[in-house]
């Protein structure tokens, strides 16, 4: 892991690590980048570097540290099984407290972007974590678990139309519950923003990233109240 910070959860006092990336030029704000089920992999760290290149100070927290410190897994069946097991063993209340610690460690404006399991964690941040200015959520399969908790800051959602893990009914349910939400669908499957995966779609990844950066730029003067 590159340049880790050690952060403390206020909920239980647990100390966890977050890869830390500084912008080389003018700082646009802070960004919490939330992992896929596979942990803070080389891919997640590469994504963090690209956002740092765009002017963001990035923290990529290792949210499985209580159970598997510095966990990283591959995209094979074993990696999926291990990552999914850890994600299901990690309660959202724990994720919330760790994300709060990340946001508190950054000076504003602070944004959140999350992928896969992290896409649902990003929704949670929009709903519960104070000090978040805007959120971009990529293919958050478990958002229905938190759908009763409305986002309290601007948020955009990205889904692949052919994602077998997120059927059209799930996206429709979110649209119906929050008709004013920006929900973008792409001709792609799950994990389309990752160039390490067979579902990578370059055009979709580029467009979703552009929309994410535009969202952050538009909301650079806002600080959400999270759940407080």
The reply to whether 158 belongs to the active site is no
Order of strands, edge to edge, in the sheet holding 110-115?
A: 4-8, 15-21, 56-61, 29-34, 110-115, 132-138, 155-160, 182-186
207-216: pLDDT as tens digits = 999 999 999 9
Would you identify the CATH topology of the domain 4-218?
Rossmann fold (3.40.50)
- For a pLDDT cut of 70, what percent of the chain falls above it? 96
Give me the catalytic one of 98, 102, 158, 163.
163
Residue 53 has pLDDT above 60, yes or no: yes
How long, in residues, is the chain? 228
Active-site option among 43, 116, 158, 199? 116
- What's the whole-number mean pLDDT along residues 126-149? 98
Confirm if 200 and 111 have CB atoms less than 8 A apart: no
Task: Supply the pLDDT for residue 161.
Answer: 97
Catalytic residue among 102, 153, 190, 199: 190
Please give the Cα distance from 87 to 14 (Å, whole number).
17
Residues near 79 by beta carbon (within 8 Å), at least 6 away in sequence: 38, 73
Asked whether the predicted pLDDT for residue 1 surpasses 80, the reply is no
Query: How would residue 224 be classed by pLDDT, with cut points 50, 70 and 90?
Result: low
Residues of the chain with pLDDT > 90, as a percent, come to 91
Query: Is residue 78 among the annotated active site residues?
Result: no
- Tell me phi and psi for residue 55, to 5 degrees: 110, 10
- Is 116 tagged catalytic? yes
Rounded average pLDDT over 133-154: 97
Residue 223 has a pLDDT of: 60
Q: What are the pLDDT digits (tens) for 63-89?
A: 999 999 999 999 999 999 999 999 999
pLDDT range class, residue 198, cuts 50, 70, 90: confident
> Chain-wide mean pLDDT for the chain?
94
Q: What is the largest CA-CA distance in the chain?
A: 43
Summarize the confidence of residues 187-206 as an average pLDDT.
94
Note the pLDDT of residue 226: 54
Q: What is the pLDDT of residue 63?
A: 98
- Peptide bond connecting 109 to the previous residue in cis, omega within 30 degrees of 0: yes
């Amino acid at each position: 892991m590159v340049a880790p910070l050690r952060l403390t959860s206020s909920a239980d006092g647990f100390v966890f690590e977050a890869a830390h990336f500084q912008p080389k030029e003018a700082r646009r704000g802070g960004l919490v980048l939330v992992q896929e089920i596979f942990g803070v992999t080389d891919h997640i760290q590469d994504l963090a570097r690209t956002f740092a290149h765009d002017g963001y100070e990035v923290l990529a927290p290792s949210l499985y540290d209580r159970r598997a410190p510095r966990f990283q897994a591959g995209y094979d069946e074993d990696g999926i099984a291990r990552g999914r097991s850890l994600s299901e063993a990690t309660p959202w209340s724990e994720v919330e407290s760790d994300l709060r610690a990340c946001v508190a460690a950054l000076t504003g404006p602070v944004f959140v972007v999350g992928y896969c399991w992290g896409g649902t964690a990003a929704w949670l941040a929009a709903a519960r974590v104070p000090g978040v200015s805007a959120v971009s959520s990529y293919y958050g399969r478990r958002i229905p678990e938190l759908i009763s908790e409305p986002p309290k800051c601007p948020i955009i959602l990205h889904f692949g139309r052919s994602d077998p893990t997120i059927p059209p009914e799930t996206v429709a349910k979110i649209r119906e519950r929050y008709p004013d939400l920006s929900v973008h669908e792409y001709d792609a499957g799950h994990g389309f923003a990752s160039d390490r995966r067979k579902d990578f779609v370059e055009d979709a990844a580029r467009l979703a990233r552009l929309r994410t950066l535009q969202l952050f730029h538009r909301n650079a003067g806002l600080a959400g109240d999270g759940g407080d």
